[in-house]
Amino acid sequence: MALPTSFWLIRHALVDENARAVLYGTLDVELCPTSLLAQAPMYAALAARLPRPAHWVVTPLSRTRRTAEAIFAAGYPRQELGVEPDLIEQHLGEWQGLAHAELPARLSLKPHAFWPLGGHERPPGGESMVQVIARAGAALEALADRHPGEDVVAVSHGGTIRAAVAHALGIGPDNALHLSVQNLSLTRMERHPDGWRVVSVNELPGY
């Protein structure tokens, strides 16, 4: 029986306080330096938990690379980091950089209870969660094809990880937005020859 490709999806570390005040989407914002120090035990727990060997990928945004580097500094052997552009966060188009309070007046659809906008809302110049699910799903399928039966660690983003789970389970965008995916959490998925299996969502290292 063929072994599955196992995905270990990590949401990047908490971003800087100023960035959290706005809709940052695909803006390349900095990590919170205080949290980087305070959450050292979580990085150590991830370093001990993640499989060895594994193929590592990050997105084009520096917050994912810096998170991976913090895991290496905490004890995981340093790896070459591939860049997977299609695992980037949802692009919020013209709404990126807006204060959260400014968004509701611009929405054409009902907002989601746990995300700034609903799954079918497409910001001007940006993308909807439907589109994120499509591109993230295609990226995961391609990675599984390139690394059959192996482990892939991907440091990505909250919206993208929700999209990945939605792809695996075949659920809609608004359903996916009900998932909690916290910073530094681990979500595990497997692609088997007969389909996808979700092993866990939002595991918090060290807890």
At 136, the amino acid letter reads A
In which residue are the tokens 């009900």 written? 178
- What is the per-residue pLDDT for 158? 98
Among 116, 163, 113, 102, CA closest to 137: 163
The mean pLDDT value for 162-170 works out to 98
Confidence at residue 166, expressed as pLDDT on a 0 to 100 scale: 98
Is there a domain that residue 72 lies in?
yes
Confirm whether 135 is domain-assigned: yes
**pLDDT tier at 207, thresholds 50, 70, 90:** low
Rounded to an integer, what is the distance from CA 63 to the centroid of its chain?
A: 11
Would the pLDDT of 9 be above 70? yes
The answer, yes or no, to whether residue 205 has pLDDT greater than 90, is no
The pLDDT of residue 76 is above 90:
yes
Which domain, by its residues, includes 169? 10-203
Q: Does residue 100 sit within a domain?
A: yes
Rounded to an integer, the average pLDDT of 50-79 is 98
What span, in angstroms and rounded, lies between the C-alpha atoms of 112 and 106? 14
Closest CA to 163 of 174, 152, 150: 174
- Does pLDDT of 25 surpass 80? yes
Which pLDDT value is given to residue 159? 97
In a domain, 1, yes or no: no
According to the model, what pLDDT value does residue 165 have?
98
Band of residue 54 on the pLDDT scale cut at 50, 70, 90: very high
What are the residue ranges of helices labelled H in 16-127?
Answer: 17-20, 33-38, 40-49, 62-73
Contact in structure between 92 and 126 (CB atoms under 8 Å) = yes
Q: What are the DSSP E strand ranges found in the chain?
A: 5-11, 55-58, 81-83, 151-156, 186-192, 195-203
Summary mean pLDDT of the chain = 96
User: Which pLDDT score is estimated for 104?
Assistant: 92
Q: Which two tokens stand for residue 22?
A: 């706005």
Structural domain includes residue 195: yes
**Residue 113 in this model has a pLDDT that exceeds 90:** yes
Q: What is the pTM of this model?
A: 0.96
Q: Is the pLDDT of residue 180 over 70?
A: yes
Q: Quick one: average pLDDT of 16-38?
A: 96
- Nearest 10 degrees: CA dihedral of 6, 178, 19, 92? 90
Question: Do residues 7 and 191 touch, judged by C-beta distance below 8 A?
Answer: yes
**Over 80: is that where the pLDDT of 1 sits?**
no
Say how many domains are in the chain.
1
Q: What is the pLDDT of residue 2?
A: 84
Residue 131 lies in a domain: yes
**What CATH number has the domain bearing residue 176?**
3.40.50.1240
Instruction: Decide if 194 is inside a domain.
Output: yes
Residue 206 confidence (pLDDT) above 80 = no
Query: Is 4 part of a structural domain of the chain?
Result: no
Place of tokens 């609903």: 118
Distance CA 166, CA 35 (A): 29
